[in-house]
Structure 1
Amino acid sequence: MSSHPPRATRSQGRRRLAVGALVTALFGQLLAGTAVAAPSSKTPSPGRIAWQPCASPSGEGTFECATLKVPVDWKRPHGATIDLALARHLATDPERRIGSLLINPGGPGGSGVGFAFSAPDSFSPELLERFDIVGFDPRGVGLSNPVMCDSDRVAAQGALLYPDSASSFADLREANRALGENCRDLTGPLVDHMDTASVIRDMDAIRAGLGEKRISYYGVSYGTGIGQQYAERYPHRVRAMTLDSNMDHSLGTWAYQKTETIAMEESYGQFADWCARTPSCVLHDRDARALFDSLYQRADAGELVLPGDPPYTVTTQDLQSIAFGYMYDPASWFQFAEDLAFLDAADPAAARSLKRRGEPTEFAYLPVMCQDYDFDVPSYATLARYERELARLAPVTRLSSLAWTDLTGCQNWPTKVTNPPHRLRVDGTPPILVTNSRYDVATPYSWGSNAARQIGREAAFLTYDGVGHGDYWLSPCARDAIDTYLLTLKTPRKGAHCPAVWPTGPSAQRQSPTGLVNPLPELLGTGTHR
């Protein structure tokens, strides 16, 4: 590719639920000294969590907040510790309370505290009645000793994530190592212990602190990876587990790129077909596939320029990232069609679709991904071959911007792959509900079906036949199935499907077809996390 724009990193644009200063204030005293503490003289106690009343940013719901001390390195339980930040929404019908429902919104880098604070609007009244909804900021994220990196080094690395020569590939590798080492310098040894295997140890400490012998869990996106590996390590500590929009931790480098790129191409194809049959789509009378190809070629030639002071030259990477983000939720497709039309006309208003962001200093995403997956490739020639083969697989969209920057961002990353990919070995859990949409740009359908196969007889697999990420908010049918399972342990019938839900008109609100507010765009920023 011919140009190298600054990368919109996964930790950027995380439009959390107005948590900001208010949440920091709520945790101010609880989190005094959350930087890595001095080595303790004894193993952290799994005693009960000391909850304190707190208020959500919205003021809705009854909440409690707390922290829990865990080792930085679980292999050295007597060593340095960090404090995990937790929040829980108390069951509204305590006499019929089932227990605690742990939740994780994905990322990696999403705030579980923010997810819990969203519970009154994001989860059904039935779940709110029967469960304490418990969210935690995973290690290195948000209020749990966040990984900190120099913003200039983040920007320098981001500008190199699409190398087009052996020389620029070498520059990328050097920038990746410098960034990772800088994160370690600013954060401390926690940076070397960000893998999911450590997170599931943290989660079991939370389970013990809650006083629960068995835990219920709902994880979406990267949160499914936490759930999968928790079920693998602690099968007899699971009461119920829903894995919504699944990771596949068994994949090698090429399979990861291939499946993500096919998912992007198929998802965009669904958008193009929807637009063709929807008169109110502004591209209804145009071929949306041909339009994207035309925009891509103009961007590749440096000829897609938005007027302004100064003018902005849209790159192929900008275009791919914009499209990727809009595939998370079809409710945004009316706006996506307008943005493509604006770009084609080089209208100054198109600049709003680029969502330019400032560079942050929190940077949890790559420290997790680069310890969970072994993405190193031997040379630029290998990377260039991948790029050519991906473009053949996806002639319209060419590649998945998220998967590609996962690959390039982990080249020569200085921490070890401490939790390498492997096939799941789950044995002895109750039934686990696995759900995936048929066209999911971030966690492809093949990942969900493969995860269910690996889990085996313990898995009940539900397919949502539509497009998007986070089935609980995309499909009333999926939401009902998830609620029923978590409340009663009854799984859908084998081979069950939920029908696709298509947008019928522009909406100014993020109200999902289920009648609930989808919190993921606010917590994560669509297209910037899983």
Structure 2
Amino acid sequence: MSARGRGLRPRTIVLATLAAAACATALPAVASADLTAARPAAHPTPDSPRGTLTWGSCDRPDMPVQKGVQCGTLRVPVDWSEPRSGTVALRAYRFKAADPAKKKGTILNFPSGPGETGDLAFASLRKHLPGYDLIALDPRGVGQSGRLSCATDKILKIPYVPPTDGRRFRALEKNQRAFWKTCTTTPAGLKNHLDASSNARDAEALRKALRLERINLYGFSYGTLTAERYLGLYGDHVGGSVLEGVMNPAQSRREFVTTAARGMEAVFDRFREWCAEKQACALHGKDVASVFRKAQRTADAGRVPGSLMTTPWSSVTVTRYFELMAPRSFKETADGLAKLSRGENPMGGGERAGQGGQEPGQGGQEPGQGGTPKTTPYADPVVCSDFDLSVGSAGRARRDLAATRAAAPVLGFSTNSSNYTSICLGGPHPAEGSGKPVTSRSAHPTMLLSNTADPATPSAWADGVARQLGGKAVAVRTEKVGHGGGLDDPRTRSRVAAYLDRSNRPAR
């Protein structure tokens, strides 16, 4: 579950747009490819052990594919348990090693998100782990693999934290039932088969289509979930497997939100320590927690003008602001909290205080106005296919909130995780076996990378997966605040490279 921009996964259309822009600007090596359509791939039949792919150019004008990346189409069953019931076309990517004579192997990439395309990590992997062919798919419901889209007005009404009183909770339930009905994929039946195990089976179809006997895995954030399922199903074909920002599938809704809240509070603790040490902090010499709470009270009183990317200011929005900003810059975060405590909007904007009147979690403009589309790509419900997160009732929402506030005394909760308990009231339902522990059929241990203070995938999740794998896990902790970026650390990168070299060494 990624937080690049998503810092943390955005919940409004404007934030989603900004996250996509951030991803694009983070890849300076991306160049425009020939945007003519790729030749259609040969379609493997469901019973065929190997399919074939025809590689061509890449037709993605919204965010051009990196120069040198080839694109193709792989057709697989919509429902792997009923392979003759229909198929879906998935976008495939391949980026060959710069020197084929020195190629070390192939890395199958599982992208972050849900919502990121399969090739997005290619630039980073090529930079940090040169010498490997890179392959990937756009996951189901993402990019050019039957993209999931939903009604904008329903998305904008999903709160970051579910309401705890009966009236507002019933309104949320009504919205979520209507919300999921507006969500569409191509083909239509795909929306009910978006889970990680289905994506793992798709990845195995790609391996067979490429006639690769042995591959390596790299999964980041939400992509680690698909990598985990692949290891359990097809790990006998895996050499090295590197999971960064690890998801733990074997946890309850309550565990999911409380561990995430505790992880976010750890980021706040780092921020508070930094402010105590650095005069560059606008809150230096002050009680940082008290300033944060004052900012929340000021926002709840309607004294902060404007909004956070269309979401009116409230105590919840102040927490959201911290989650988005702190991994990016402690200094900017301190400046912003100081402004909020004074009733100023750190995001700018000329609206008067209290303008808008929407409840927390709602956007500030109606769909169809100002260029906002009636429907928008929205991959977040994919999480509901893999985790049983629906909060179910106002009573459960109250108990969840009490638990997260105990875990995070200052922040109160992680909006990034609690938001899913609202989203999943509508659907889809968790796939069968989605909560089972992680296992591996690989002969090699799995390397689990985590940061000491991660706002999206707390290190506790990696610890849980390490326990599930037992002796088949190698845990690596990078001293870092933020989500991902472990390979930027020279020591972590060196350990990963050496591990992959060992895992791909020919057996004697």
Aligned to 1:127: 129
- Following the alignment from structure 2 to structure 1, what is the Cα–Cα distance between the partners of residues 331 and 160? 32
Moved more, 261-270 or 340-349: 340-349
2:176 paired with 1:176: yes
Over 3 Å counting, the alpha-carbon distance change for 1:351 and 1:187 in structure 2 is farther
The CA deviation at 1:290 is: 1.9
- One-letter code of the match for 1:151? T
- Following the alignment from structure 2 to structure 1, what is the Cα–Cα distance between the partners of residues 138 and 32? 12
Which of 395, 403, 412 is the aligned partner of 1:389?
A: 403
2:344 paired with 1:338: no
Aligned to 2:393: 379
CA deviations over 1:36-75 (Å, ceiling 9, x no partner):
x9xx976466323222255996786522111111111111
The CA deviation at 1:428 is: 4.2
- One-letter code of the match for 2:129? L
Which of 463, 472, 475 is the aligned partner of 1:458?
A: 472
Over 3 Å counting, the alpha-carbon distance change for 1:186 and 1:197 in structure 2 is closer
Is the 1:55–1:62 Cα contact (8 Å) retained in structure 2? no
Which of 365, 376, 390 is the aligned partner of 1:361?
A: 376
Between Structure 1 and Structure 2, which shows a larger proportion of helix residues? 1
- Following the alignment from structure 2 to structure 1, what is the Cα–Cα distance between the partners of residues 32 and 198? 25
- One-letter code of the match for 1:458? K
Aligned to 1:528: none
- Following the alignment from structure 2 to structure 1, what is the Cα–Cα distance between the partners of residues 45 and 492? 48
Over 3 Å counting, the alpha-carbon distance change for 1:110 and 1:223 in structure 2 is same
Which of 419, 444, 451 is the aligned partner of 1:430?
A: 444
- One-letter code of the match for 1:127? L
Q: What is the correspondence of 1:234-253 to structure 2 with a 5 Å cutoff?
A: 234-253=234-253
Is the 1:110–1:141 Cα contact (8 Å) retained in structure 2? yes
2:212 paired with 1:208: no
Q: What is the correspondence of 1:251-290 to structure 2 with a 5 Å cutoff?
A: 251-290=251-290
- Following the alignment from structure 1 to structure 2, what is the Cα–Cα distance between the partners of residues 63 and 313? 41
- Following the alignment from structure 2 to structure 1, what is the Cα–Cα distance between the partners of residues 144 and 32? 9
Which of 485, 491, 495 is the aligned partner of 1:477?
A: 491
Q: Secondary structure at the match of 1:141?
A: coil
Over 3 Å counting, the alpha-carbon distance change for 1:345 and 1:199 in structure 2 is same
- Following the alignment from structure 2 to structure 1, what is the Cα–Cα distance between the partners of residues 134 and 239? 15
- One-letter code of the match for 1:46? R
Q: Secondary structure at the match of 2:139?
A: coil
The CA deviation at 1:126 is: 6.0
Aligned to 1:46: 50
CA deviations over 1:86-110 (Å, ceiling 9, x no partner):
2222211210112221112311111
- Following the alignment from structure 1 to structure 2, what is the Cα–Cα distance between the partners of residues 268 and 227? 30
Normalising by structure 1, what TM-score? 0.79
Is the 1:484–1:490 Cα contact (8 Å) retained in structure 2? no
Is the 2:94–2:133 Cα contact (8 Å) retained in structure 1? yes
CA deviations over 1:155-204 (Å, ceiling 9, x no partner):
24x25853241121112122112111221488611000001110000111
2:307 paired with 1:305: no
Aligned to 1:513: none
Is the 1:221–1:247 Cα contact (8 Å) retained in structure 2? yes
CA deviations over 1:269-321 (Å, ceiling 9, x no partner):
11111122123233333332221121122223x2341269xx98511221111
Percent identity between the two aligned chains: 27
Q: Secondary structure at the match of 1:79?
A: coil
Is the 1:437–1:468 Cα contact (8 Å) retained in structure 2? yes
Over 3 Å counting, the alpha-carbon distance change for 1:55 and 1:193 in structure 2 is closer
2:76 paired with 1:70: yes
Is the 1:139–1:146 Cα contact (8 Å) retained in structure 2? yes
Over 3 Å counting, the alpha-carbon distance change for 1:11 and 1:251 in structure 2 is farther
Aligned to 1:524: none
- Following the alignment from structure 2 to structure 1, what is the Cα–Cα distance between the partners of residues 19 and 264? 22
CA deviations over 1:442-494 (Å, ceiling 9, x no partner):
11111101111111111111112332211424522212222222233399xxx
Is the 1:306–1:312 Cα contact (8 Å) retained in structure 2? no
Is the 1:305–1:312 Cα contact (8 Å) retained in structure 2? no
Is the 2:37–2:58 Cα contact (8 Å) retained in structure 1? no
Q: Secondary structure at the match of 2:20?
A: coil
Is the 1:434–1:460 Cα contact (8 Å) retained in structure 2? yes
- Following the alignment from structure 1 to structure 2, what is the Cα–Cα distance between the partners of residues 92 and 15? 27
- One-letter code of the match for 2:454? D
Moved more, 58-67 or 236-245: 58-67
Is the 2:299–2:313 Cα contact (8 Å) retained in structure 1? yes
2:115 paired with 1:79: no
Aligned to 2:368: none
Which of 88, 92, 96 is the aligned partner of 2:94?
A: 88
- One-letter code of the match for 1:229? R
- One-letter code of the match for 2:334? A
Is the 2:295–2:343 Cα contact (8 Å) retained in structure 1? no
Is the 1:85–1:137 Cα contact (8 Å) retained in structure 2? yes
Q: Which structure 1 residue ranges, 5 or more long, are not aligned?
A: 1-5, 492-530
2:347 paired with 1:350: yes
Aligned to 1:115: 121
Q: Secondary structure at the match of 1:52?
A: coil
Over 3 Å counting, the alpha-carbon distance change for 1:454 and 1:41 in structure 2 is closer
Is the 1:220–1:470 Cα contact (8 Å) retained in structure 2? yes
Which of 422, 441, 456 is the aligned partner of 2:455?
A: 441
- One-letter code of the match for 1:89? F
Q: Secondary structure at the match of 1:371?
A: helix
In the comparison of the two structures, how many residue pairs are matched? 467
2:28 paired with 1:26: no
- Following the alignment from structure 1 to structure 2, what is the Cα–Cα distance between the partners of residues 23 and 442? 31
- One-letter code of the match for 1:143? Q
Q: Which structure 2 residue ranges, 5 or more long, are not aligned?
A: 1-9, 26-30, 350-360, 366-371
- One-letter code of the match for 1:8? T
- One-letter code of the match for 1:297? R
- Following the alignment from structure 2 to structure 1, what is the Cα–Cα distance between the partners of residues 420 and 485? 24
- One-letter code of the match for 1:264? M
Over 3 Å counting, the alpha-carbon distance change for 1:280 and 1:396 in structure 2 is same
- Following the alignment from structure 2 to structure 1, what is the Cα–Cα distance between the partners of residues 11 and 239? 41
- Following the alignment from structure 2 to structure 1, what is the Cα–Cα distance between the partners of residues 36 and 184? 25
Aligned to 1:507: none
Aligned to 1:370: 384
Over 3 Å counting, the alpha-carbon distance change for 1:338 and 1:401 in structure 2 is same
Is the 2:128–2:487 Cα contact (8 Å) retained in structure 1? no
Q: RMSD of aligned C-alpha atoms?
A: 3.4
Is the 1:464–1:471 Cα contact (8 Å) retained in structure 2? no
Q: Secondary structure at the match of 1:134?
A: strand
Q: Secondary structure at the match of 1:132?
A: strand
